Amino acid sequence: MRGGTVQRRLRMLMVGCPGSGKGTLSARIEKHFGVHFITAGDLLRWHIRHGTELGKQASESIRAGRLMPDTTMMQLVAEKLHDMRETDWILDGFPRTEGQAQLLSEELYAAHCPLSLVVNLKVPESAILQRILQRWTHMPSGRVYNLSFNPPKTPGLDDLTGEPLETREDDNPDTFKKRIDAFHTQTEPMIQHFRALRSPYDESLPLLVDMAGSTSNEIWPKLHQLIRERFPDL
């Protein structure tokens, strides 16, 4: 409580199809509002880089464009969320099935930490494959570049560390098609479930807000305004 009013915490899900800009926009929110984000795919890529048992399984799934088991993903995310109980946060790419949404809601209920916003990115699929093929990633941090949209200052190198950029093993047309299929069959039904929910801070507002646009530059001003209106303390 602050000044007699409940402090509004941003506990947000960033959902949208592969390549829709979840990572790019989460990083912008972090930069502008200082809110940390957790990217489910980056947690898996950490295990792949470190050669763990989980990493071997994750590598197979990611290369095949398949999703990892719900309980595995919940455990990975819960470890991170545990340290962030008293803060604002964004989850990028988790949950992405109805089972994961159920597990997350149980976890957050037990921690008295309700979700306060779900942003659903709606970007035409026709725009996305090209972006994915031009994406370069700094694997240790998950920072993302694009040869035409946001190129690194020095070609092939991360702006902050100067380390080399790489392409992701799932950024090819065949795997991309499978990732899109998994989104339609497993993630879209989950998004429908969130549509029925209301904001915990204002019953008159929906929990989920659609953000449409062909580029993150079109979406960003709308997203920025939404966060300022709903979370004035940030």
Residues 164-203 that bind ligand AP5 (CB under 6 A): 170, 179
Task: Give how many residues touch ligand AP5 by CB under 6 A.
Answer: 38
- Determine if 74 is a binding residue for ligand AP5 (CB under 6 A): no
- The residue from 57, 61, 167, 172 that contacts ligand AP5 (CB under 6 A) is 61
CA 96/CA 143 separation, integer angstroms: 21
Helix (H) or strand (E) holding 13: strand 11-16
- The residue from 102, 146, 167, 172 that contacts ligand AP5 (CB under 6 A) is 146
CA 58/CA 63 separation, integer angstroms: 8
Q: Which stretch binds ligand AP5 (CB under 6 A): 140-148, 152-160, 188-196, 201-209?
A: 140-148
Q: Name the nearest CA neighbour of 78 among 60, 70, 18, 21.
A: 70
Torsion of CA 23, 28, 31, 33, to 10 degrees: -110
Token digits of residue 146: 């694009």
Q: Which stretch binds ligand AP5 (CB under 6 A): 12-20, 80-88, 158-166, 199-207?
A: 12-20
- The residue from 52, 71, 161, 215 that contacts ligand AP5 (CB under 6 A) is 215
Q: Which is nearer to ligand AP5, 93 or 191 (CB)?
A: 93
Q: Which is nearer to ligand AP5, 65 or 118 (CB)?
A: 65
- Least distance in angstroms from the C-beta of 181 to ligand AP5: 11
Q: Which is nearer to ligand AP5, 116 or 142 (CB)?
A: 142
- Least distance in angstroms from the C-beta of 1 to ligand AP5: 34
Q: Which is nearer to ligand AP5, 39 or 120 (CB)?
A: 39
CA 113/CA 131 separation, integer angstroms: 35
CA 230/CA 66 separation, integer angstroms: 35
Lay out the site mask for ligand AP5 across 17-56 (x = CB under 6 A, - = otherwise).
-xxxxxxx--------------xxx--x------------
CA 234/CA 223 separation, integer angstroms: 14
Residues 75-134 that bind ligand AP5 (CB under 6 A): 93-96, 100, 131-132, 134
Residue whose C-beta lies closest to Mg ion = 23
CA 55/CA 48 separation, integer angstroms: 4
Query: H helices within the chain, ranges in order?
Result: 22-33, 40-49, 53-64, 70-82, 98-110, 125-133, 173-182, 188-195, 216-230
- 12: CB partners within 8 A, 6+ apart: 35, 89, 90, 91, 115, 116, 117, 118, 119
Token digits of residue 112: 């008295």
Query: Which residues would be at the binding site for ligand AP5 (CB under 6 A)?
Result: 16, 18-24, 39-41, 44, 61-62, 65-68, 73, 93-96, 100, 131-132, 134-135, 144-146, 149-150, 170, 179, 215-217
